[in-house]
Structure 1
Amino acid sequence: MVRLFRYAKLGLSLALFMGAATVISQPVAAQSLVPPPGALSCTGCHPIDPKVNSPVTRLDGRDAEQITDAVLAFKAGKMPATVMDRIAKGFTDEEIRAIAAWYAKRKE
């Protein structure tokens, strides 16, 4: 029983070490593509997969300031919209800026 416990501890230690090594070894570019909170809800209409066809404007690689300005205009009701005015109200200005920056870093 003691031997089994030692092997279990060894296995757990190795798993934790390997997991940490994987995170540390990720290139900075890959880490910057991790979506901020809320961003994945945007990808339902503004896909990040280039193979997905969508009638909605693609945001990958667009200027972050342009994206931010447009979403803030939707949020304020200053830009005509079908649903973006309602969706934008669900995000803080900081979240909108973070999502815009994330999309801007992505290249199609």
Structure 2
Amino acid sequence: MRIAAPMLAFGLLAAPPALAQAPDAALLAGSCQGCHGATGEGGHGIPSIKQQQTRAEFVAAMRAFRANERPSTVMGRITRGYTDAEIAALAVHFGKPE
């Protein structure tokens, strides 16, 4: 049994790192629902984000919010929490196909 512990430790150290998973767009979209509605339809002064822009336009808008290059009330703060991969996943979820 004395050999088993070092072998186990070596096996754990030699294990490959976990692969990064693609962002779950449906899960990410849940954070948009509070303001933009369950399907992104908007309402009550909040714009619709459901297929109003192409995916590229959606990404550009989100990046502009994140960089404080586009005026907003809260979107600048919200988008700073998203990675480029997460913004791309949201674009696929909400944007119009190119």
TM range (shorter): 0.5 to 0.7
User: How many angstroms does 1:91 deviate by?
Assistant: 0.5
Q: Show structure 2 runs of 5+ residues with no match.
A: 1-23
Q: Show structure 1 runs of 5+ residues with no match.
A: 1-33
Work out whether residues 46 and 58 of structure 1, in 8 Å CA contact, stay in contact via their aligned partners in 2: yes
Residue 71 of structure 1 aligns with which residue? 62
Task: Point out 4+ residue stretches in structure 1 off by more than 6 angstroms.
Answer: none
Q: Deviations over 1:28-67 (max 9, x none)?
A: xxxxxx84432110111112175x7331110111211111
Please give the root-mean-square deviation of Cα atoms over the aligned residues, in Å. Answer: 2.1
TM-score by length of 2: 0.62
DSSP-derived class of the 1:90 partner: coil
* 2:49 alignment partner AA: L
The 5 Å alignment of 1:52-91 reads 53-62=43-52, 63-91=54-82
**Identity among equivalent pairs (%):** 34
* 1:53 alignment partner AA: G
User: How many angstroms does 1:81 deviate by?
Assistant: 1.3
User: How many angstroms does 1:82 deviate by?
Assistant: 0.9
TM-score by length of 1: 0.57
Q: Give the length in aligned residue pairs.
A: 71
* 2:45 alignment partner AA: P
